[in-house]
Amino acid sequence: MKVGDLVRLNNLSYENWGELGLITDIRPTEYGTGMITMMTKAGPNCTIPWANRRTYIKEVISESR
């Protein structure tokens, strides 16, 4: 997963967040904390915790170059 990837979301409200997200920023820390920022149906600065990325991101649909 990297900035620019289009991802399919999981375990989030599809009505609010939508089904897809575009990763705009990733800020992990050495302790496993941090945030992933995405553009989604809900807005341009939606965040999910880095530690829960596998819970909320089902798959990478299109990788950036």
* Model confidence at 59: pLDDT above 90: yes
5, two tokens: 């990837």
- The number of distinct structural domains making up the chain is 1
Residue 1 lies in a domain: no
Asked if residues 57 and 9 have their Cβ atoms less than 8 Å apart, the reply is: yes
Q: Mean per-residue pLDDT for 26-39?
A: 90
pLDDT at 60: 95
Strand segments (E) across 1-65: 6-9, 20-28, 34-40, 43-49, 57-62
Query: In terms of residue numbers, what domain contains 22?
Result: 6-62
Share of the chain above pLDDT 70, in %: 100
Q: Are strands 34-40 and 20-28 parallel, antiparallel or unpaired?
A: antiparallel
pLDDT at 30: 83
Residue 31 lies in a domain: yes
Residue 20 lies in a domain: yes
CA–CA dist 38, 53 (Å, integer): 12
